[in-house]
Amino acid sequence: MGDTQGNNNADSMDGQVDERMTAVLGDITTLDVDAIVNAANSSLLGGGGVDGAIHRAAGPELLAECRAIGGCPTGEARVTRGYRLPARLVIHTVGPVWRGGRKGEDEALANCYRNSLALAAQHGAHTVAFPAISTGVYGFPLERATAIAVRETRAYLRDHPEIERVMFACFGAHAHNVYQAELGRVARQDV
C-alpha cells in the first residue's frame, strides 16, 4: 500500500507538470503569453521563418534592440521587449544547424530550451511559447527535436512552478500531431 501511495503521489505531481504543457496550432506571434521564444540566427539581425514573422509583427524597434545586443552563440538566449506583439518579452535563442546528429546538435538544442526558460523566469514570465526551434531552415529532424523540447521543458517545469504554462506553437498540422503524440507519450510514462 505504501508503494501504491507513493506512486500515486508521483503520478499526480507529473500530471500537474504535463497539464502545464500544450501544443497549439498556429502563428506564435498571435499568442497572448508573457514571452515568446524566437528561433533566431547568431547575428540576431533577423531572418526568414519564425524569426521574420516575429520581427514583422513586433515592428522595427525589435531589430534596433537586437542590433544593440550584438549577437548570440548557439544554445544561448537573449531577451528583448516584445513591442507590438501581444507578448511582453521575446527570448531570442539560436538553435543548432543539423549536421547529421553527431556534432552536439542534441545538447545545443536542449540548451536552447533550458536557457530560454531560465531567462523567461528571470524576467518574471509565467507563460512562455516556443516554436519548433531548428526544425525549419536549420534542418533538425522534427520528431527528434520535439522529444528534446518536451523533455527539457518538462524537467524545467518540475523544478520551477513560477513558469505556469508552456505552449508549443506548431506551424502546421504535421508538427501539431508530432507534438501532441510526444506530450501524450510522456504523460503516460511513470517516471
* Beta carbon nearer to ligand ADP, 175 or 183: 175
* Beta carbon nearer to ligand ADP, 133 or 163: 133
Query: How far apart (Å, rounded) are the C-alpha atoms in residues 172 and 52?
Result: 17
Shortest distance, CB of residue 167 to ligand ADP, whole angstroms? 10
Query: How far apart (Å, rounded) are the C-alpha atoms in residues 159 and 161?
Result: 6
Shortest distance, CB of residue 121 to ligand ADP, whole angstroms? 22
Q: Is 182 near ligand ADP (CB under 6 A)?
A: no
Grid cell in block for residue 111: 540548451
Q: Is 29 near ligand ADP (CB under 6 A)?
A: yes
Secondary structure of 138-170 as H, E, C letters: CCCCHHHHHHHHHHHHHHHHHHCCCCCEEEEEE
Q: Is 115 near ligand ADP (CB under 6 A)?
A: no
Catalytic residue among 18, 51, 106, 159: 51
β-partners of residue 92 are: 38, 78
Total residues interacting with ligand ADP, rule: CB under 6 A: 20
Contacts of 34 (CB under 8 A, 6+ apart): 87, 88, 89, 120, 124, 125, 126, 127, 128
Enter the DSSP assignment of 96.
P
* Beta carbon nearer to ligand ADP, 80 or 134: 134
Q: Is 51 a catalytic residue?
A: yes
Site for ligand ADP in 81-100 (CB under 6 A): 95
**Residue numbers of the site for ligand ADP (CB under 6 A)?**
27-29, 39, 49-51, 53, 95, 131-138, 169, 171, 175
Residue numbers annotated as active site: 51
